[in-house]
Structure 1
Amino acid sequence: MIKRLFHSQAKTVSFAALILGASALISRLLGLVRDRLLAGTFGAGQTLDIYFAAFRIPDFVYSILIMGGVTAIFLPVFAESFKKGEKEAWALVNNVLNCFLVLLIVICGVLAIFTPFLMKFIAPGFNSEERVLAIGLTRIMFLSPIFFGMSAIFSGILHYFNRFFAYSIIPVFYNLGIIFGILFLVPPFGVWGLAYGVILGAFFHWIVQIPVAVATGFKYRPLLDFKYPGLIKIFKLMVPRTIGTAAYSLNLIVITAIASTLTVGSIAIFNFANNIQYLPIGIVGASFAVASFPFLSRAWVNGAKHEFLDHFSLSLRQMAFSIIPVSLFFFLLRAQIIRLVLGTGQFNWQDTRLTAASLGLFCLGIFAAACIPFLARVFYSFQNTKIPVAISFASMALNVALAFLFVWLLSFANSFQQFIAHALDLASINNIGVVGLALAMSVSGLFQCLLLLLFLRKTLGHIRLKEITRSFLKTVLATVLMGVTVYAALKVSAGFVAMETFLGILIQTVVAGIVGTLVYLFFCHFLKSPEIIAVKRSIFKHFITR
């Protein structure tokens, strides 16, 4: 049964997204368990600030070379090579695999040497003792991009052959590695155990894909030809995409640098809120982006523009159908979510309130954040990397400017500061600058999403905007009606449960969630939303009829 699941193929975008979404849900839930263990063990304080800061340089390498290069560019080039012949396609794989292994080892080794210099810019607010610890953790975690680089190449193979289950399950192993580190390596090794857990998880992320890749026809060969045409093409396409992805990573580095100058725990609070907002983004947005990519790439290569637009329109509409109501639900239940996920051990009430407020501001841009990777991949599917790169840098510039502006405005009494403090129940907390970082991310994300849509329409000439807008308005209307019901359910249920206990908060959240979901689905059905019909058909086709 397990072997059959790992080797199963998805034949439609909807079903592929369903597989990826279900697996992402498991992975994200494990991520919440991971964060709860981190919060309960260390609290939002100095140790986690150092731990999250130590992630920044290895994550930068991962983002620009792996997520920005291999993940986005490898698949279309591999698809072209496979059309010419299997032998050429597997030769490409082996050349890319060996080249990136050498490249990542050299880059990570050099960066490990210069980490003390780089850390001064990443965390300028750290004292010398904090900086030394961050440097040590960073050097250990430089092993993770090497494992992730190998993993990304195998992921590209699995994408092409639609082996989405095998690909989608690998983040679960990554989180299990970190959880293992928290539970079993932190007691004997302290904070160093967290870094060891990250390496263990990254290793699992790579190794579990190898058997499935071999089953598709892959055989390792020690090829290393830097003049190989397919490899050269990947590097050429990577340059603008790598620069574009660097913009997002630089965003996080700047945010980390700013947060390090705020109150102790600000880096941890930002990262916790950011991780939680990525629950719906990872389940819905990333799933559709990954699932649609091979379908879009093949449709474009085959000259099937009508099919290409079918996949684009359906994916975007289903993303809106899924994520817009979740965004409002997260906003209304932000305090309950933070208390359930992080409210334990060393994580105190002020940490909870600041993290909940940050999550609330992140909710303003969750839909945009979910759409960005999908829209970028639409451009990549027809090998246009320049437009999304330029837009990502424009968004980065806006985010940095807004981050400094909002943090400054929240540092003293003024109308903006009072509005944010009152709206998010932070009036009794003196230093609330960290929430400005979340607001800056949301505003810049909305800006980036709108620009991508505008330029995509300009590039393709027609993206079925009327069809998308009609569906979007139905989704928004059903979401507003759901929101009113959820708010009422929260108020009513608060009178029947003990709100000072974990069980009471859990019951309130579950009741509000069930009521909200039923109301949303009812109004979507009442409004004859085509997305709910498509979801029912996909589930019936792939599960009920088997």
Structure 2
Amino acid sequence: MAFLTGRQHMGVAAVIMAVSIFLSRFMGLIRDKVISFYYGASIESDIYFASFVIPDFLNYLLAGGYFSITLIPLLAEYFNNSEEDGWKFLSSVLFWVCIVITAGTCVAWVGAPYLAKIAAPGFDAPSIARLTYFLRIILPAQIFFLLGSCFSGVLYMRKQFVVPALVPLVYNASIIIGGLFMIDYGMEGFCWGVLFGAATGSFMLPYLAVRNGGFQWHFTLRHPGLKKFVLLALPLMIGQSVVVLDEQFVRIFGSLTGDGAVSLLNYSRRIMLVPVGVVAQAAGVASYPFLAALVAKGDTEAFNTTLSRALRNTMLFIVPLSFWMISAAEPTLRLIFQQGSFGVEQTLGATPLLQIMLASVAFWGVQQMIGRAFYAHKDTITPAVVGTVISLIAIPVYWYLGKTIGVMGVAMAGTMSVVLYTLALSAVWKRRFGGDAFKGVVRMFLLSAVLCVPAMVASVYVVQQIPLLLDGRPLTGAFVSLAVSGTLFCVLYMCTSMLLAPKAIEPIVTFVRKRILRRA
């Protein structure tokens, strides 16, 4: 248990979260692989993916995805003053969160038939009835998600990252097991897996870890920190950002572009989020407690230096990764999904969707860091306002491009919205806090992109030629294409960088050298 509750430094925390997110994304791909194998891109899989629109929106409406972020500064403040006061504050938050989310879940459960029509306006009556049933299974999971987020906030505040890193792994494993166990019942088993995974992984794991750390329950309805918490969370409840609504927009407007479109968009988006999670999200989650601490100390210079370094390093890793993934989109989809009910036609249909989405990966990386920089300053209003404005602008864009271009237009709208949101949020930051945090970031982005060009050209050539040599063996060809193109891309990128910009890739060289020395 000491390993699970031990404290970690920023570097170790980043590695833990990166591994966790990578494994979680990998398990998510396995889950989608099982779904695609049995159901391909069909109306049944569309219904399953659409069944998350309302529950996720309820979670976003209560700022569930930001509970840890809004709680960490307040928890740190009250626990630093008095541990007993800290537990009283947490108890008060838990009580009211439980009341509000339970009430909201009950209302949504009763109104599920009407909400299903909003979630998937393009579905016919039988599909809406099936969607309603799935909704009522998944909705109670939100209770466990939000309560679990409160306990995870305590663990993050204490810089204990191992248990939060295990949460998504248990959750994804539960969905896979539930789906396979009830495979004869269609997608219903996956829905029950969501509910079980939320109860055990998202709630029970962090609760047990916090209890092991001395959790004390106080039946406290009022606490001075409760008002502060609501004021911090309220902008996030009211203002919804494109980066959290994008998945819902994709499902809603995707349902209007034909059967299977929601599934193809979901499969593509799942792969796109792998580099976002492994590089950007891991760096953001790990750096946030340290950025918050620097704000508390009033050390602006160290804050800007830390944020600038994190942004540059994110660009250094995420840009070449996204370039290679764009060049290898088709064999990636073929290797992961092309079996069973997911055929060649679905692979070719999803490839341009994935490539369009991957074009926004670097911008996802920036907004992950800048958003948390605002939160570290206890400013949840600005990201919420900017996000709301961009979301309102995005809705007609999704509708128009989906109507005129089809499913590819929905993917384009998502990419354009994320880019616009990131640029707008960055502009607001620069105007308010100055440009020190962005020193060298644009240059690193452009330099990395230019250095990727020779490697990407070679990767595209390899991806095109290898299937010709392994005709009739699509999965083997996909694996070989990824292995050869990935290796070639890395070698050419490193050689080009060492020749033209050796200082730029120094963090990568240092990272690799440390790992080699440790193993030696």
Cα distance change, pair 478–173 in 1 and its aligned pair in 2 (3 A): same
* Cα shift readout 1:419-446 (whole Å, capped 9, x = no counterpart): xxxxxxxxxxxxxx11111110101111
TM-superposed CA distance for 1:537, in Å, is 5.1
Q: Which one of 462, 465, 490 corresponds to residue 517 of structure 1?
A: 490
Residue 159 of structure 2 is aligned to residue 185 of structure 1: no
> Is this contact kept in 2: 1:5–1:166, CA < 8 A?
no
Once the 2 structures are TM-superposed, how far is the Cα of residue 98 of structure 1 from its aligned partner?
Answer: 2.1
For the structure 1 residues 285 and 541, does the alpha-carbon distance in structure 2 shift closer, same or farther, using more than 3 Å as the test? same
CA deviations over 1:473-509 (Å, ceiling 9, x no partner): 3322222232123223334544543464211210111
Task: Kindly indicate whether residue 108 of structure 2 is the aligned counterpart of residue 84 of structure 1.
Answer: no
2:415 to 432, 439, 442: 442
3-state secondary structure, aligned to 2:257? coil
* Alignment partners' CA distance in 1, 2:92 and 2:506: 44
Judge which range, 97-106 or 133-142, deviates more: 97-106
| Aligned position for 2:518 | 544
Q: Is the Cα–Cα contact under 8 Å of residues 59 and 249 in structure 1 kept in the other structure?
A: no
Indicate if the aligned counterparts of 2:168 and 2:202 stay in contact, CA closer than 8 A: yes
Residue 7 of structure 2 contacts residue 159 of structure 2 at CA under 8 Å; is this kept in 1?
Answer: yes
List per-residue Cα deviations over 1:440-483 (Å, max 9, x = no partner). Answer: 01011111111111111111123243332333333222222321
Would you say 1:244 and 2:234 are equivalent positions? no
Match of 1:419 in 2: none
- Verify the 8 A CA contact 1:124 1:257 in the aligned structure 2: yes
1:259 matched to 2:254? yes
Q: What are the superposed Cα offsets for residues 176-195 of structure 1, whole Å, 9 maximum, x if unpaired?
A: 011101211223x4332121
Query: Partners in 2 of 1:392 and 1:488 — Cα distance?
Result: 39
The number of aligned residues is 518
* Contact kept? 2:59, 2:146, Cα under 8 Å: yes
Residue 461 of structure 2 corresponds to 488
For residues 201-257 of structure 1, the C-alpha deviation after alignment (integer angstroms, 9 at most, x for no partner) is 112222222333234x341414231x3111111111111122223665555444333
1:270-349 aligned within 5 A:
270-349=265-344
Amino acid at match of 1:131: I
**Cα shift at 1:302:** 1.0
Structural mapping, 1:82-121, within 5 Å = 82-121=79-118
Cα–Cα, structure 1 residues 193 and 68, in superposed 2: closer, same or farther, change >3 Å?
A: closer
User: Shift of residue 111 of structure 1?
Assistant: 1.1
2:371, 2:206 → 1: CA distance?
25
| C-alpha displacement of 1:332 | 0.9
Residue 344 of structure 1 aligns with an amino acid whose one-letter code is Q
- Hey, what does 1:202 align to over in structure 2? 198
Q: 1:53 to 1:228 in 2, by over 3 A?
A: same
Matched, 1:67 2:64: yes
What is the one-letter code of the residue matched to 2:351? A
Within-5 A mapping of 1:22-37: 22-37=19-34
Deviations 1:146-200 (A, max 9, x none): 111122112111111221222122111111011101211223x433212111111
One-letter amino acid of the structure 2 residue matched with residue 50 of structure 1: I
CA RMSD of aligned residues (A): 2.3
Tell me the equivalent position of 1:359: 354
Q: Secondary structure at the match of 2:298?
A: coil
Once residues 211 and 77 of structure 2 are traced to their aligned partners in structure 1, the CA distance between those partners, rounded to angstroms, is 20
Q: 1:219 aligns with which of 204, 215, 221?
A: 215
Identical columns (%): 24
TM-score when normalising by structure 1? 0.89
Q: Give the counterpart letter for 1:502 in structure 2.
A: L
| CA gap 1:70/1:531 in 2 versus in 1, 3 angstroms | farther
Query: Counterpart of 2:52 in structure 1: which amino acid?
Result: F
* Separation in 2, partners of 1:153, 1:405: 39
- Deviations along 1:6-29, whole A, 9 cap, x unmatched? 2333212x4322221112111111
CA distance, structure 1, for counterparts of residue 431 and residue 86 of structure 2: 33
**Residues in 2 aligned to 1:151 and 1:531: alpha-carbon distance in whole angstroms:** 39
State the match for 2:42 in structure 1: 45
- SS at structure 1 position matched to 2:51: helix
1:383 aligned residue: 378
Given that residues 497 and 508 in structure 1 are in contact (C-alpha distance below 8 angstroms), is that contact kept between their aligned partners in structure 2?
no
Residue number in structure 2 paired with 1:397: 392
Which one of 165, 169, 191 corresponds to residue 168 of structure 1? 165
| 2:409 match: secondary structure | helix
Are 2:230 and 1:235 aligned? yes
Deviation (angstroms), 1:42: 0.9
The AA in structure 2 aligned to 1:240 is P
Q: Point out the more displaced range, 250-259 or 131-140.
A: 250-259
1:169 is paired with a residue whose SS is helix
How far is the alpha carbon of 1:297 from its aligned partner? 0.6
For the structure 1 residues 291 and 520, does the alpha-carbon distance in structure 2 shift closer, same or farther, using more than 3 Å as the test?
same
Partners of 1:47 and 1:191 within 8 A in 2: yes
For 2:96 and 2:472, the matched residues in 1 are separated by 56
Counterparts of 1:476 and 1:121 in 2: how far apart (Å)? 40
The Cα of 1:78 is off from its aligned counterpart by 1.2
Distance 1:348 1:144, change over 3 A: same
TM-score normalized by the length of structure 2: 0.94
Alignment partner, residue 145 of structure 1: 142
Q: CA deviation at 1:539?
A: 7.6
SS of the residue 1:47 aligns to: helix
Give the Å deviation of 1:535: 7.0
Alpha-carbon distance in structure 2 between the residues aligned to 1:284 and 1:537: 14
Name the aligned partner's letter for residue 250 of structure 2.
I
Which residues of structure 1 form unaligned runs of 5+? 411-432
Alpha-carbon distance in 1 for matches of 2:124, 2:463: 44
- Report if aligned partners of 1:185, 1:197 keep a CA contact under 8 Å in 2: no
CA spacing shift, 1:442–1:128, aligned 2, 3 Å: same
Mapped partners of 2:292, 2:117: distance in 1: 42
